[in-house]
Amino acid sequence: MNNPSDLFLKFILIFGILAVFFGRTLKMSVAAQNGNFNDVNISAILNSFQMGYDKRVRPNYGGKQ
């Protein structure tokens, strides 16, 4: 039942599962600290739309001229 080889295999299996779990957790925490290089600055995109906007196209939009 509790062969030394069975205990060894169980130990290796549990160790492997824990190693995979903690390895993924470590990678995710490092990625969260470094940020994502594909992040987009939405405010900059919206400001760029507004900078080239001509109020004469829609005269009653955006307050007084």
Domain with 22, as residue range(s), is 4-51
* Predicted model pTM: 0.37
Mean pLDDT of the chain: 70
Specify if 45 maps to a domain: yes
- From 2, 6, 24, select the one nearest 14 (Cα to Cα): 6
Alpha-carbon distance 53 to 65, whole Å? 13
Give me the number of domains the chain comprises.
1
Specify if 63 maps to a domain: no
Alpha-carbon distance 13 to 19, whole Å? 10
Residue 63 has pLDDT above 60, yes or no: no
Percent of the chain at pLDDT > 90 equals 0
Specify if 29 maps to a domain: yes
Residue 3: count other Cβ atoms within 10 Å of its Cβ.
Answer: 8
Specify if 43 maps to a domain: yes
pLDDT computed for residue 47 by the predictor:
74
Instruction: Look up residue 58 and give its DSSP letter.
Output: S
Q: What is the mean pLDDT of residues 26-37?
A: 59
Q: Which residues contact 59 (CB under 8 A, 6 or more apart)?
A: 65
